[in-house]
Structure 1
Amino acid sequence: MDTDRTISRPGKAAPPPESHEMLQKRNEELEKELRHSLEREEKMKKELQSIRERLLLEAEGVDHAREYRAHIMSLTEKITVAKNEMNDVESVRVLLNKKR
């Protein structure tokens, strides 16, 4: 048996010093990118929340407008009915006056 041979295991050997510096620099760059990404994500979450709130307000406004329109339509119908009744009363009055 040859006991002087070393067994090479992947991932266990230390990188050369210049490679270590490059890896450290790359790690710093990745950490910086991650911070920026997290900041952008937080900004987008706030913007999304703001948009949701605006949409809720707009939806409430649409609901109020629909209710108001329905109320106007109801009043218009009541006015039409009242007008027709007034015309009917006037027609009866004219007929009664002709008979006299």
Structure 2
Amino acid sequence: MAVTKQQKVAVAVAGGEALKKRNEELERELRESQEREEQMKSELFRTWDRLRVAEEAEERLCSQLGELEAEAVDQARSYHARIVSLMDQLARAQQLLHQASVPIPRS
């Protein structure tokens, strides 16, 4: 059975149409892939910006925490010095009362 010229042309046309259709599908898939890539890039940049903001906030918080810690240490030292001073005053007062033979009331 011999293949006619018309049959060959029909096969070639059908093959061409199939190739054209496949090419269109590939172009559509490429566009969709490029759109997804752009969306992912946008999301990456947004995430990158959020990370930068978070890192800057962390640095500010660490700095503030350091300042608060230094202030707390200063206050603790001041309170300790005040307590030592009051204890010394109390000890001297008790000593004076003892020397003067004044009874010290106990609670």
1:49 to 19, 38, 46: 38
Which of 13, 16, 31 aligns to 2:20? It is: 31
* 1:86 maps to 2:41: no
The within-5 A match list for 1:52-63 is 52-63=41-52
| 1:57-84 residue CA offsets vs partner (Å, 9 max, x unmatched) | 0111111111111211111111110000
TM normalised by structure 2 equals 0.73
Using CA pairs below 8 Å that are at least 6 residues apart, which structure has the higher relative contact order?
A: 2
Question: Would you say 1:67 and 2:56 are equivalent positions?
Answer: yes
Map Cα deviations across residues 41-68 of structure 1 (whole Å, 9 max, x no partner).
0111011101110111011111111111
Deviates more, 1:70-79 or 1:51-60: 70-79
The whole-number CA distance in structure 2 between the counterparts of 1:37 and 1:19 is 26
Percent identity between the two aligned chains: 9
User: Which residue does the alignment assign to 2:86?
Assistant: 97
For normalisation by structure 1, the TM-score amounts to 0.78
Unaligned runs of 5+ in 1: 1-14
- What is the CA–CA distance in structure 1 between the aligned matches of 2:22 and 2:87, rounded to whole Å? 96
Q: Which has the larger radius of gyration?
A: 2
Instruction: Could you tell me which runs of 5 or more consecutive residues in structure 2 were left unpaired when the two chains were aligned.
Output: 90-107
Equivalent-residue separation in structure 1 for 2:58 and 2:52 (angstroms): 10
Structure 1 runs (4+) greater than 4 angstroms displaced = none
